[in-house]
């Protein structure tokens, strides 16, 4: 039976921590809080409901990207599988929920994000290294209204392609 999956908006309650295994794999952990905050219509105040605290873990390139992007206090959209971590300390057994992060990113409800592709080369699923392929120049179609730097056709009624087509 598969583990349950959760997708939701959380807040990073601490900066992510990046470590490396003995074999060199990156692993990041980040403490997350999901809560049911709502606005009380009678008072106009925000009321915090129940909070679900969980430690999220990610591996390899995702781990490194999380540590470069997520900061304490950020509201983030996160998805992953829930599981239970178990450990023993001072002779007592402990358990806590944990989240294996599969996808994470900033929530744009109250923030703006600048997305850029990671410079790291990522290996394909079959384990072989990706081959460097030269990017083929892409040319916009001649009737592309979003192309830049080229004047619009004389019959288009627009001054240039820098203007939206509507």
Per-residue model confidence as pLDDT tens digits over 52-99? 999 999 999 999 999 999 999 999 999 999 999 998 999 999 999 999
Query: Is 29 within the bounds of a domain?
Result: yes
Query: Is 140 within the bounds of a domain?
Result: no
The C-alpha atoms of residue 33 and residue 51 are separated, in whole angstroms, by 6
Query: Is 80 within the bounds of a domain?
Result: yes
The reply to whether the predicted model has a pTM over 0.75 is no
Return the CATH number at 45.
2.40.50.140
For residues 34 and 162, the model is more confident at: 34
Per-residue model confidence as pLDDT tens digits over 3-32? 889 999 999 999 999 999 999 999 999 999
The C-alpha atoms of residue 100 and residue 81 are separated, in whole angstroms, by 5
Phi-psi region of 155 (alpha: psi -120 to 50; beta: other; left: phi over 0): alpha
Query: Is 26 within the bounds of a domain?
Result: yes
Query: Is 79 within the bounds of a domain?
Result: yes
What is the domain count for the chain? 1
Whether the CB-CB separation of 101 and 60 falls below 8 Å is answered with no
CA 76 to chain centre: 7
The C-alpha atoms of residue 34 and residue 148 are separated, in whole angstroms, by 43
The domain containing residue 100 runs over which residues? 5-106
């Amino acid at each position: 039976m598969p583990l349950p999956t959760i997708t939701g908006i959380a807040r990073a309650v601490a900066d992510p921590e990046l470590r490396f295994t003995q074999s060199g794999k990156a692993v990041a952990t980040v403490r997350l809080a999901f809560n049911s905050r709502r606005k009380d219509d009678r008072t106009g105040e925000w009321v915090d409901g129940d909070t679900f605290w969980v430690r999220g873990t990610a591996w390899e390139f995702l781990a490194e990207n999380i540590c470069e992007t997520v900061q304490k206090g950020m509201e983030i959209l996160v998805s992953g599988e829930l599981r239970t971590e178990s450990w023993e300390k001072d002779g007592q057994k402990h358990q806590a929920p944990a989240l294996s992060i599969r996808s994470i990113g900033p929530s744009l409800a109250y923030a703006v994000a600048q997305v850029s592709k990671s410079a790291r080369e990522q290996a394909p699923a079959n384990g072989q290294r990706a081959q460097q392929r030269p990017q083929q120049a892409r040319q916009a179609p001649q009737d592309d209204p979003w192309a830049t730097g080229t004047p619009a056709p004389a019959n288009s009624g627009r001054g240039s392609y820098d203007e939206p087509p509507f």
